[in-house]
Amino acid sequence: MKPAPGNPLGFRLLVVGLLCLLIVLQVRLWISRDGFSEVSRLRHQVELQRHENQELAERNERLAAEVGDLQNGFGAVEERARSDLGLIGDDETFYVFPEQPAGAPVSD
């Protein structure tokens, strides 16, 4: 059998050139700032943003429930006025008990 006609030097140069191109692309993929390290950083950033979005969605649900309570019932408005504004009803008596410092004698 005869070897296939062609230029063995040209074929070798082509193979060497393709190998060099492969090495350059691999280096760029693994080492460059827009390679795998950037993809990993972006995935982490997306995960943090999802977590923050979840927390904000829960807060929005709580606020929506509170708005609904305030719009639909007098009890929620009264509770809010008591806790935030110190509301005291007409038939109620308000007592203030001063706090005693720790270790102070208790008088009878």
pLDDT in tens, the chain (108 residues): 555 566 788 889 999 999 999 999 888 888 877 788 888 889 999 999 999 999 999 999 999 988 888 788 777 778 778 888 877 877 888 787 888 777 767 665
pLDDT at 72: 83
Contact 76, 69 (CB under 8 A): yes
pLDDT at 68: 86
Buried b (16+ CB within 10 A) or exposed e, 63-77: eeeeeeeeeeeeebe
Model pTM score: 0.48
Query: Which sign, positive or negative, has the C-alpha torsion 9, 10, 13, 19?
Result: negative
Residues 6+ away with beta carbon under 8 Å from 100: 106
Pairwise CA distance, residues 70 & 84, whole Å = 14
